[in-house]
Amino acid sequence: MTEDMGQNAGATHIEVDAGVRYWEDASVNGVDETDENPTIFGADNDRWRVKINLAEGRIEGWPKDMTANVHYKVCDDGEYWLLDKNGERIAKYRDYYVPGDFLCHGDNGYGDYIILKIDGAGKIADYQQPGIDPAEWERVSA
């Protein structure tokens, strides 16, 4: 069952579950990643699974002192959820394109790329907290 989103609906985080075409499109601690053995936090087989604090622009659980430069091609293979303060999913992005306002900071991903520069504390460079457009999110009822 779904209903429309209103304002920010209590969202505190975005949960990312994105299919990454090439892990080598990122570097970790200045070293290019490999498709065979990605070392970036959140890598899970061919998926990148992270949660980002919307107010702070910080990736939850990010390992101390790991830095990364991410430029992932997602190819319409992602699911994105807004979470409340309890970590419950409250809304799902209505599209499979990358929600650029949330996942592209410092460049334009045109709906196909996740572009982030992440520091050693998990903070995203050039981060600006995005507004939530109710037309782009579908509220999920319990």
Q: How many residues does this entry show for the chain?
A: 142
Flag whether pLDDT at 141 surpasses 90. Answer: no
pLDDT digits (tens, 9 = 90+) for 94-136: 998 999 999 999 899 989 999 999 999 999 999 999 999 999 9
pTM for the complete prediction? 0.92
Question: For residue 1, what pLDDT is reported?
Answer: 31
Cβ(64)–Cβ(55) below 8 Å: no
Query: Contact 38/23 with Cβ under 8 angstroms?
Result: yes
CA angle 33, 120, 30 (to 5 degrees): 30
pLDDT of residue 8: 53
The C-alpha atoms of residue 27 and residue 39 are separated, in whole angstroms, by 9
Q: Work out the average pLDDT over 84-96.
A: 95
* Average pLDDT of every residue of the chain: 93
Distance CA 117, CA 73 (A): 15
Q: Where are the domains of the chain?
A: 2-140
